[in-house]
Amino acid sequence: MEMGTGMSARGTAQGRDGGGKSAPARQTPERPHELTLTGRRKLTVSGVDDVERFDEQEIVMRCGGTLLVVGGEELSVSRLSVESGDVSIAGRISSLIYEEAPAGRGGFWGRIFRG
């Protein structure tokens, strides 16, 4: 998926299969989220439930019942607010992919704060 400078997207995008088919109905309601991509160098995401994992090539976030996978180079999380669900990412962003989220893992912050 490619977006131009300063464009925003809400909701859904194509999965990795590239088929563009709509996702099957879910049992649990999704938390609304919004993406703002500026010049493929800065991405702001609201409505993030958890950050699953991240490194310089890939950042994986849980947004409602799906995972948002951000691919690129020199990626870094420049701002993370667990309370509000806002995440800002800087770097060379080359892809935004939605995938179905596996159930019950708890993500990065869930694993850190478990006793």
For residues 18 and 39, what is the distance between their CA atoms, to the nearest angstrom?
Answer: 23
pTM across the whole model? 0.66
For residues 40 and 2, what is the distance between their CA atoms, to the nearest angstrom?
Answer: 9
Name the token pair of 7.
Answer: 């464009």
Cα separation values, 7 from 2, 3, 11, 65, 96, Å: 10, 6, 14, 24, 13
115 or 57, higher pLDDT? 57
- Look up the CATH number of domain 32-102+109-115: 2.60.40.2000
The ranges assigned to domains in the chain are: 32-102+109-115
For residues 3 and 38, what is the distance between their CA atoms, to the nearest angstrom?
Answer: 9
> For residue range 86-107, what is the model confidence (pLDDT) as tens digits?
999 999 999 999 998 776 555 5
